[in-house]
A and B are shown apart, each in its own frame.
Chain A
Amino acid sequence: MGKKRLTAITFVITLISLILTGCGLEPRNATLQVKPTACIGCNECGGVCGYDAIRIINGKAVIDPSKCVKCGRCVELCPAYAIY
């Protein structure tokens, strides 16, 4: 596949996603997630979670949605911006 074609596909996908963002789809029912490739396993998030909702599994943080109340403390503190 040509280089230009691949680049074009990536940009189109990004553009579509940005348009979708502006289409008014509300973030209802979303759960917080950790992006494993960004997480550095420092457990700063676990140290501020007041709901015992974070475990370290295989060196990465995992958020338990059955305990998480989406207060956002972990989002504010994560040094790798890995929680979203």
Chain B
Amino acid sequence: MGILLGLTRALAALNAALLAAGRQIGTACVGLMVLFILIQVFFRYVLNDAPAWTEEGARFLMLWMTGLMAPTAFRRGGFVAIETLVRLIPDRPATVLQLLLLLVSLCVLVVGVQIAWAETTGFVGRAPTDALRLPLDLTGTDWFKIPKSWARASIAVGCTLLLSVNVELLLRGLVRLLGAGDALLEIADATIMLEAE
């Protein structure tokens, strides 16, 4: 039990740190997305010359925002699910059911991580993006074409973080099943809801 608890706490600390960094970067992505699209509108309607990079850049940021912030939502119980059955049955069977469901999501994520990294490092990932460039010197004569892998990596990183959270939740479930749930620190309460509704 000691080893299991130690492992759970270590993974929880790692996830907390990684996800906190992810939230910071994701927050910056949100701000930059707005800025990019406002620049696009300004250039198109005021200067009559829309830059090509704004739309693709904003999509790039949205993908990273999703990849970096969704794992926090998952860890805090913010993924939409019908929890009626889990609430209706006694604690112990409910924990077993949750563990089984976490095994299903684990399988989804293990496959997802493999495919996402293969797509990132593969042929498609090596192709350059349509309009995203980075200057290689101060004069702006030499440019580096950002490859598609930089955008695809958002999903690979997101899947990897989700997998790490999934393993933590599995370990927490096991600890609870073995009767040592009180020894676990609570994950911050979920305040994430589908506010789209």
**Chain B binds chain A:** no
Listed in ascending order, the chain A residues whose CB lies under 8 Å from chain B are none
Listed in ascending order, the chain B residues whose CB lies under 8 Å from chain A are none
